[in-house]
Structure 1
Amino acid sequence: MTKDTGSAARPPYLRIVDEIRRRIADGELAPGDRVPSTRRIAEEWGVALATATKALTTLRLEGVVETRPRAGTVVARSASPAHDPRTAAPTPASPSATEPELTRERIVRTAIEIADAEGLSGLSMRGVAARLGVAAMSPYRYVSGKDELVLLMADAAYGDQGCPVDVPEGWRPRVETGVRTLWSLHRRHPWLAQLGPLTRPLLVPNLMVHGEWLLNALDGHGLDATTLFDIHVLLYSHVQGLAVHLEREAHAEAATGRSDQQWMDDHASDLRELTDSGRFPTFAKVVGSFADEGYDLRLDALLELGLKALLDGLTPTIEEGGGPAGTR
């Protein structure tokens, strides 16, 4: 009996392409459905992240899938299951044709696209090279490594949106504008909240632009330097503290394939056990009041609620130019 070695001889990334195309053709994946992430592909097929990235890049270049921010990689509306890549392997991009166009800006923007869609865990230098269609080592001519790349990404991301040219009057509207601008950027690039603790701040120019806005809004009220900077850090940490959950939720959904609502449904019996135990009467009373309409955890609303509470509490300190409340 002759052994069929055709499939085994096919490069691993193309075998992955074949399988994902089969799932689309058989209706297992419909337009708009999420396809496995690079990390999921690497785990399912036992390949490197670079190989998984190359497979998704091949499908993306063929128009079979597309990347949507925070949704990840999904089946494109124009995907044509009739085309079967098993009939012919895609022609790889010619390094001589593409590499002269490679720039640091393209590398950074491509890396941001990957991080926006798949989080920092899905980012690698090889993955960036695969997405750009260049040799694995080509990006190293422009960026020394992933650490430098992430710093460049952060600087570019914080530069995506600045505060308005027309400065609102009064310290409070200016602070609110600065905080909401930062929140908008973290909403657009949730991985920003994962980059480092407050004790090791990112020293990149475009983040400093936002810090300068907040410090300038608070300056001129007689606050000592320590109090002024503490308030600035507190406001930034409010944004970062909420934004960190954007990336965590996206990672959890990618890892489990379950949305936050589906996860809650899966754990309904656990919640019921806690509320029925009698040990937590206030918790049970509050949760019980959500029986009809449920509770929707809205990070945007929490941002505004926390911002109002912070500024209400800080107003006496700022406008009286004294030390922290309770110490005067």
Structure 2
Amino acid sequence: MTTEYSGGGDPKRSMELLWGVPDRPRRGPKPKLTVDQIVQAAIAIADREGLAGLSMRRVADELDVTAMSLYTYVPGKAELVDVMLDTVHARTAEPDDDRGDWRSRLERLARESYDRYRRHPWLLQVASGVPVLGPNLLARYDRELAAVDGLGLTEIEMDLLVNLVADYVHGAVRGAVETARMRQRTGMTVEQWWQSYEPLLAQVFDPERYPVAARVGSVAGAEYQAPADPARSFEFGLHRVLDGIEAFIQSRAGA
């Protein structure tokens, strides 16, 4: 799987593109494209083919221009990925973020993030240990922090809690994305795969050697009709994470 790294390009140019810093006026004909058109074309390619299918030439082909002409707008793929990452975090609606208590607000944000990964699975291919903070990513971070503000937590605790939820969603959504990718590549549903695989496993599996796995696995397999149920796992895990945060908040209130 191709991995890209946010912040891997020219940080000055990435920040200029993210925050809309205008270029110096240039002589000549009016530009045929905008940065947003280029970014939207790149996102469409990545949504279909992943980051492995993304290149400046592919974007140029999508827009019916020469690859060299794109470099007058975007320096390269690394900076393009930075802007793509920020763009898909733009809010598509304006929900009332103050609705409900901290738990319902964090849950809503977690589900929003989960759905974003499902729409743009290539996000899992972007390593953002060094995030380039654009306006949409900062707005999301602000919303997440606002959900746990005023609960008597320190600023560090607030940051750690919202990162805990973000890390959980990032890990939990992988199963759903990989399942969808498998179906796309093989043409088989998980149920179809399991029906063909289960008889083969039965020929080699010794329940006496793995008694707990045999007992639990048989019940879970019958329930899911598959090795796992990513959507159900996400729901179960999200509520347990929120339970843990609630216990932490209560312990801090009683300290």
* Both proteins in one fold, TM over 0.5: yes
* 2:111 paired with 1:177: no
* 2:36 paired with 1:137: no
Letter in 2 for 1:124: S
Distance 1:271 1:278, change over 3 A: same
* 2:134 paired with 1:167: no
Structure 1 unaligned blocks of 5 or more:
1-98
Distance 1:320 1:288, change over 3 A: closer
Structure with the larger RCO, 1 or 2 (CA within 8 Å, 6+ apart): 2
Residue 122 of structure 1: aligned partner: 53
Q: For the residues of structure 2 that align with 1:207 and 1:166, how far apart are their CA atoms?
A: 16
Matches within 5 A, 1:279-294: 279-289=209-219, 294=224
Q: Secondary structure of 1:159's match?
A: coil
Give the conservation status (yes or no) of the 8 Å contact 1:275–1:283. Answer: no
- How many corresponding residue pairs? 225
How far residue 233 of structure 1 moved from its aligned partner, in angstroms, is 0.7
Q: Secondary structure of 1:220's match?
A: coil
Q: For the residues of structure 2 that align with 1:320 and 1:291, how far apart are their CA atoms?
A: 38
Which structure has the bigger radius of gyration?
1
Letter in 1 for 2:102: W
Q: Secondary structure of 2:67's match?
A: coil
How far residue 256 of structure 1 moved from its aligned partner, in angstroms, is 4.8
TM normalised by structure 1 equals 0.60
* 2:123 paired with 1:224: no
Matches within 5 A, 1:38-77: none
Distance 1:270 1:234, change over 3 A: farther
How many percent of aligned residue pairs carry the same amino acid? 37
Residue 152 of structure 1: aligned partner: 83
Distance 1:247 1:291, change over 3 A: closer
Matches within 5 A, 1:230-249: 230-249=160-179
Distance 1:172 1:290, change over 3 A: closer
Residue 311 of structure 1: aligned partner: 242
How far residue 155 of structure 1 moved from its aligned partner, in angstroms, is 1.0
Give the conservation status (yes or no) of the 8 Å contact 1:116–1:188. Answer: yes
Residue 13 of structure 2: aligned partner: none
How far residue 108 of structure 1 moved from its aligned partner, in angstroms, is 0.6
Q: For the residues of structure 2 that align with 1:316 and 1:193, how far apart are their CA atoms?
A: 30
Q: For the residues of structure 1 that align with 2:123 and 2:38, how far apart are their CA atoms?
A: 18
Give the conservation status (yes or no) of the 8 Å contact 1:119–1:251. Answer: no
Q: For the residues of structure 2 that align with 1:317 and 1:118, how far apart are their CA atoms?
A: 41
Letter in 2 for 1:164: P
Q: For the residues of structure 2 that align with 1:204 and 1:266, how far apart are their CA atoms?
A: 47
Give the conservation status (yes or no) of the 8 Å contact 2:60–2:66. Answer: yes
Q: For the residues of structure 2 that align with 1:291 and 1:113, how far apart are their CA atoms?
A: 36
TM normalised by structure 2 equals 0.76
Structure 2 unaligned blocks of 5 or more:
1-29
Q: Secondary structure of 2:161's match?
A: helix
Q: For the residues of structure 2 that align with 1:317 and 1:201, how far apart are their CA atoms?
A: 28
Residue 125 of structure 2: aligned partner: 194
Question: Over aligned residues, Cα RMSD in angstroms?
Answer: 2.8
Q: For the residues of structure 1 that align with 2:149 and 2:221, how far apart are their CA atoms?
A: 47
Q: Secondary structure of 1:276's match?
A: coil
- Deviations for 1:281-302, whole angstroms, at most 9, x for unmatched residues? 1111123235655435443332
